Amino acid sequence: MARSQVVKFFYLTTAIDYANGSPHLGHAYEKILSDAIVRSRRMEGLQCHFLTGLDEHGQKVQETAERLSIEPQKLCDKVAEEFQAMCQLMQVDYDDYIRTSQPRHTSVVRGILSKLYENGDIYKSSYVGLYSVRAERFVHEKDMVDGKWPEDFGDVIELQEENYFFKMKGHQAWLLDYLKKNDEFIFPAYRQKQVLEFLAEPLNDLCISRPKSRLTWGIELPFDGDYVTYVWFDALINYISAIGYGTERFHDFWPADVEVIGKDILSPAHAVYWPIMLRAIGLELPRQLVVHGWWLAKGGEKMSKSLGNVVRPIDYATVYGSDAFRYFVLSEMSVGQDSDFSHELFASRYRADLSNDIGNLLSRTVNMVERYCGGTIPPVEVEEELERELKFLAKKTIGDVRERCRHYDFSGALESVCALVRSANRYLECRSPWKLAKGKEKDLAEMKTSLAVAAECLRICAALLIPAIPQSAEKMFAQLGAQTVNDWTALDWGNSLAWKRVCKGPVLFPRIGEDDDAMPAVSAR
């Protein structure tokens, strides 16, 4: 295809996870949310490119490797496998996985550093300042909360060092102006507040090097072999190195349409450093930062190994299936806000929405088509008020779900689908095909209609559930003998299931017991 004909990809990136631990709920959620966004955009007919990856450099990775007496690269290889396996288990269907130790990345970082250095955007200076060991950066008194250093900073020590600095001071005015004029840049918009607060204080230049005496596991500065690059400067560039910055194809992707991140890394990293870095190298800003909140343990506590309240997403997906896990996190969290994860909440949503509503509608419909119609879905024969109402609701649900997905409201979209499923279940109760099956001609026509209508509702629900629970949606189509829907723009109420043969399969969401002990505990391991 000639370049001029290339469609711009819907390009979505996620935060790249630190390689100093195993994947946890926060990592899994962010990737599932991103996957659901991409799947919903594909259903709208967009060509998508979905990037995620691993942030491998930095002090913590170096220290963990030292503790384990292995090379940092070996540690990262192992961790990358673990994260990729987690994505596979969770059906996170990324197009590309970038690792910051890959030459395709390191060469771009070095190229950008050289360019900025030659342009005079980077300079060397001696700096005495307060340094957070845990956050691996110089900090300022304005970072204190109520006169104390935030816990995330760990020990804060005074440090004097010769280092390289990236000029940020001159960028404050345009960035503030940009944020004020583009209130869609940060989603949800209320998250912009913390960025504006940060920018209300004078901007300091950013220290972008670490002396090798302190840190060796990083990308060496191209203009000074005694230093490596500060981890954030290195990591942010993944969004452009992965798509071939400096090559022709880069422009098929950039600017990114959506960068999905957690609220802790919005400011200053993604809303201040990153826009300024892009501006300095003459690139457009990403179109939108989608900022999700934090998963907290039951009762709003922060999850931590020492508190023993860490949720292991892999256990959940292994026991209940990744769709059940995806469904829970997408329906429970409203993007932007924090949510609690507790087993009780998981089990209650599983029972209510998945087993009792969706699973039940599918199994009873398929069973009745087998029992009363010889396994073939009949055409609709009558259309009365009850049918018209359900059809109207189904059509409305299609529009509603599409709109909500466009605005990252997966929780609302799933609620909308469940409302349709509940209406279809009520409709079956009303029509009672099991009674009509014993009747005469008119009754039989109504019985057939009711099953056809329930099946069509299920087909529409399956199509709308694809972004959240792709495997189960596929199973729903298969049991209905329906063709997979892969385009929402053409989705409408129809008669496409008439004369299709149902194909009964295993129960979609098997019932889970009331006995909480039988569940994989929210455990510390």
Q: Is the CB of residue 220 less than 8 Å from the CB of residue 113?
A: no
Residue selected from 50, 217, 295, 325 as contacting ligand MSP according to rule CB under 6 A:
295
Residue selected from 11, 12, 17, 321 as contacting ligand MSP according to rule CB under 6 A:
17
**Alpha-carbon gap, residue 132 to 136, rounded angstroms:** 6
Side-chain-facing half-sphere of 178: CA atoms under 13 Å: 19
Give the interface size with ligand MSP as a residue count (CB under 6 A). 19
Q: At closest approach, how far in Å is the CB of 39 from ligand MSP?
A: 20
Q: At closest approach, how far in Å is the CB of 257 from ligand MSP?
A: 17
Residue selected from 9, 11, 12, 15 as contacting ligand MSP according to rule CB under 6 A:
15
Q: At closest approach, how far in Å is the CB of 232 from ligand MSP?
A: 7
**Alpha-carbon gap, residue 247 to 42, rounded angstroms:** 26
Residue selected from 9, 10, 12, 26 as contacting ligand MSP according to rule CB under 6 A:
26
Q: Which is nearer to ligand MSP, 235 or 512 (CB)?
A: 235
Residue with tokens 């099991």: 434
Distance of CA 457 to the CA centre of its chain: 28
Work out whether 335 is an interface residue with ligand MSP (CB under 6 A).
Answer: no
Q: Which range touches ligand MSP (CB under 6 A), out of 2-10, 23-31, 379-387, 486-494?
A: 23-31
Of residues 209-268, which lie at the interface with ligand MSP (CB under 6 A)?
Answer: 235-236, 238, 261-262, 264-265
Q: Which range touches ligand MSP (CB under 6 A), out of 9-17, 35-43, 411-419, 433-441?
A: 9-17
Q: At closest approach, how far in Å is the CB of 349 from ligand MSP?
A: 18
Work out whether 16 is an interface residue with ligand MSP (CB under 6 A).
Answer: yes
Work out whether 191 is an interface residue with ligand MSP (CB under 6 A).
Answer: no
Work out whether 332 is an interface residue with ligand MSP (CB under 6 A).
Answer: no
What count of other Cβ atoms lies within 10 Å of the Cβ of residue 392?
Answer: 11
Q: Is the CB of residue 268 less than 8 Å from the CB of residue 23?
A: no
Q: Is the CB of residue 421 less than 8 Å from the CB of residue 361?
A: yes
Work out whether 39 is an interface residue with ligand MSP (CB under 6 A).
Answer: no
Work out whether 137 is an interface residue with ligand MSP (CB under 6 A).
Answer: no
Of residues 421-460, which lie at the interface with ligand MSP (CB under 6 A)?
Answer: none
Q: Which is nearer to ligand MSP, 304 or 486 (CB)?
A: 304
Side-chain-facing half-sphere of 143: CA atoms under 13 Å: 19
**Alpha-carbon gap, residue 331 to 346, rounded angstroms:** 10
Q: Which is nearer to ligand MSP, 198 or 294 (CB)?
A: 294
Q: Is the CB of residue 297 less than 8 Å from the CB of residue 309?
A: yes
Q: At closest approach, how far in Å is the CB of 99 from ligand MSP?
A: 12
Work out whether 275 is an interface residue with ligand MSP (CB under 6 A).
Answer: no
**Alpha-carbon gap, residue 269 to 272, rounded angstroms:** 6
Q: At closest approach, how far in Å is the CB of 235 from ligand MSP?
A: 4
Q: Which range touches ligand MSP (CB under 6 A), out of 14-22, 214-222, 408-416, 480-488?
A: 14-22
Residue selected from 10, 29, 83, 187 as contacting ligand MSP according to rule CB under 6 A:
29
Q: At closest approach, how far in Å is the CB of 295 from ligand MSP?
A: 4
**Alpha-carbon gap, residue 502 to 375, rounded angstroms:** 6
**Alpha-carbon gap, residue 347 to 432, rounded angstroms:** 29
Q: At closest approach, how far in Å is the CB of 269 from ligand MSP?
A: 7
Residue sitting closest to ligand MSP (CB) = 262
**What does residue 311 show for φ and ψ, rounded to 5 degrees?**
-90, 130
Q: Which is nearer to ligand MSP, 256 or 417 (CB)?
A: 256
Q: At closest approach, how far in Å is the CB of 240 from ligand MSP?
A: 11
Q: How far lies 310's CA from each of 301, 303, 484, in Å?
A: 10, 5, 37
Of residues 42-71, which lie at the interface with ligand MSP (CB under 6 A)?
Answer: 55
Distance of CA 346 to the CA centre of its chain: 19
Q: At closest approach, how far in Å is the CB of 237 from ligand MSP?
A: 8
Q: How far lies 294's CA from each of 29, 297, 303, 392, in Å?
A: 10, 10, 10, 37
**Alpha-carbon gap, residue 117 to 112, rounded angstroms:** 8
Q: At closest approach, how far in Å is the CB of 201 from ligand MSP?
A: 23
What is the DSSP track for 473-512?
Answer: HHHHHHHHTPPPP--GGG-----TTTTPBP---S-SS---
Cβ contacts of 214 within 8 Å, gap of 6 or more: 59
**Alpha-carbon gap, residue 129 to 475, rounded angstroms:** 59
The amino acid occupying position 485 is: V
Q: At closest approach, how far in Å is the CB of 302 from ligand MSP?
A: 8
Among the listed residues 522, 524, 90, the one whose alpha carbon sits nearest the alpha carbon of residue 342:
522
Work out whether 18 is an interface residue with ligand MSP (CB under 6 A).
Answer: yes
Q: Which is nearer to ligand MSP, 127 or 294 (CB)?
A: 294
Which residues form the interface with ligand MSP (CB under 6 A)?
Answer: 15-18, 26-27, 29-30, 55, 235-236, 238, 261-262, 264-265, 294-295, 303
